Amino acid sequence: MAELWIVRVEMTVQPEDFASGNTVGFMNAVIWADAPELAAARLSRYLATFDWHVVSVEDISIACDDLVYQEKMQEMIDQARVNPEAIVLGDFHSYKVN
Protein backbone atom coordinates (compact mmCIF):
# COMPACT_ATOMS: atom_id res chain seq x y z
CA MET A 1 0.00 0.00 0.00
CA ALA A 2 1.38 3.38 -0.98
CA GLU A 3 2.38 5.77 1.77
CA LEU A 4 3.50 9.37 1.69
CA TRP A 5 7.27 9.73 2.12
CA ILE A 6 9.47 12.72 2.88
CA VAL A 7 12.81 12.35 1.12
CA ARG A 8 15.86 14.61 1.49
CA VAL A 9 18.44 14.13 -1.25
CA GLU A 10 21.80 15.57 -2.09
CA MET A 11 21.79 16.17 -5.82
CA THR A 12 23.49 17.78 -8.76
CA VAL A 13 21.88 20.15 -11.25
CA GLN A 14 23.03 21.88 -14.39
CA PRO A 15 24.97 25.19 -13.97
CA GLU A 16 22.33 27.15 -15.87
CA ASP A 17 19.42 25.86 -13.77
CA PHE A 18 19.85 28.33 -10.91
CA ALA A 19 21.09 31.92 -10.81
CA SER A 20 23.93 31.06 -8.42
CA GLY A 21 25.45 28.68 -10.95
CA ASN A 22 26.04 26.20 -8.13
CA THR A 23 25.51 22.62 -9.18
CA VAL A 24 25.37 20.69 -5.88
CA GLY A 25 22.81 20.99 -3.14
CA PHE A 26 19.98 19.48 -1.13
CA MET A 27 16.25 19.26 -1.71
CA ASN A 28 13.28 17.86 0.19
CA ALA A 29 10.53 16.10 -1.70
CA VAL A 30 7.22 14.51 -0.77
CA ILE A 31 6.27 11.44 -2.78
CA TRP A 32 3.92 8.46 -2.74
CA ALA A 33 5.44 4.97 -2.82
CA ASP A 34 5.03 1.47 -1.37
CA ALA A 35 8.45 1.42 0.33
CA PRO A 36 11.33 3.81 1.06
CA GLU A 37 13.59 2.39 -1.65
CA LEU A 38 10.76 2.75 -4.18
CA ALA A 39 10.23 6.38 -3.11
CA ALA A 40 13.93 7.10 -3.61
CA ALA A 41 13.98 5.38 -7.01
CA ARG A 42 10.82 7.16 -8.19
CA LEU A 43 12.22 10.53 -7.11
CA SER A 44 15.56 9.79 -8.81
CA ARG A 45 13.80 8.96 -12.10
CA TYR A 46 11.72 12.14 -11.88
CA LEU A 47 14.73 14.38 -11.16
CA ALA A 48 16.57 12.80 -14.09
CA THR A 49 13.90 14.26 -16.41
CA PHE A 50 15.41 17.68 -15.56
CA ASP A 51 18.94 16.32 -16.03
CA TRP A 52 19.37 16.45 -12.25
CA HIS A 53 20.97 13.52 -10.45
CA VAL A 54 20.70 12.15 -6.94
CA VAL A 55 24.09 11.89 -5.25
CA SER A 56 22.69 10.38 -2.05
CA VAL A 57 19.51 9.95 -0.10
CA GLU A 58 20.20 11.76 3.17
CA ASP A 59 16.93 10.98 4.94
CA ILE A 60 13.66 9.26 4.20
CA SER A 61 10.66 8.92 6.50
CA ILE A 62 6.91 8.49 6.38
CA ALA A 63 4.89 11.71 6.62
CA CYS A 64 3.04 11.30 9.92
CA ASP A 65 -0.27 12.91 10.77
CA ASP A 66 0.83 13.14 14.42
CA LEU A 67 3.88 15.32 13.76
CA VAL A 68 4.00 19.09 13.44
CA TYR A 69 6.07 20.11 10.42
CA GLN A 70 7.44 23.48 9.43
CA GLU A 71 4.97 25.45 7.32
CA LYS A 72 6.65 24.81 3.94
CA MET A 73 6.89 21.05 4.58
CA GLN A 74 3.28 20.90 5.77
CA GLU A 75 2.17 22.66 2.57
CA MET A 76 4.08 20.09 0.50
CA ILE A 77 2.48 17.21 2.44
CA ASP A 78 -1.00 18.71 2.10
CA GLN A 79 -0.50 19.20 -1.64
CA ALA A 80 0.68 15.61 -2.14
CA ARG A 81 -1.96 14.06 0.10
CA VAL A 82 -4.76 14.86 -2.37
CA ASN A 83 -2.95 13.39 -5.40
CA PRO A 84 -1.59 9.81 -5.21
CA GLU A 85 0.60 10.50 -8.27
CA ALA A 86 2.19 13.61 -6.73
CA ILE A 87 5.88 14.33 -6.47
CA VAL A 88 6.21 17.66 -4.67
CA LEU A 89 9.66 19.27 -4.70
CA GLY A 90 10.85 21.71 -2.07
CA ASP A 91 13.43 24.47 -2.39
CA PHE A 92 16.87 23.65 -3.76
CA HIS A 93 19.60 24.68 -1.29
CA SER A 94 22.90 24.85 -3.16
CA TYR A 95 26.47 25.17 -2.02
CA LYS A 96 29.83 25.66 -3.69
CA VAL A 97 32.17 22.71 -4.03
CA ASN A 98 35.83 23.44 -3.29
pLDDT tens-place values along the chain, 98 residues long: 899 999 999 999 999 998 888 999 999 999 999 999 999 999 999 999 999 999 999 999 999 989 999 999 999 999 999 999 999 999 999 988 77
Measure the CA–CA gap between 89 and 21, rounded to whole angstroms: 19
Paired residues of 62 in beta bridges: 5
Measure the CA–CA gap between 52 and 46, rounded to whole angstroms: 9
Q: Which amino acid type is present at position 89? A: L
Q: Which amino acid type is present at position 47? A: L
pTM score, whole prediction: 0.92
What does residue 91 show for φ and ψ, rounded to 5 degrees? -70, 145
Q: Which amino acid type is present at position 21? A: G
Q: Where are the domains of the chain?
A: 3-95
Give the CB-side neighbour count of residue 35, counting CA atoms within 13 A: 3
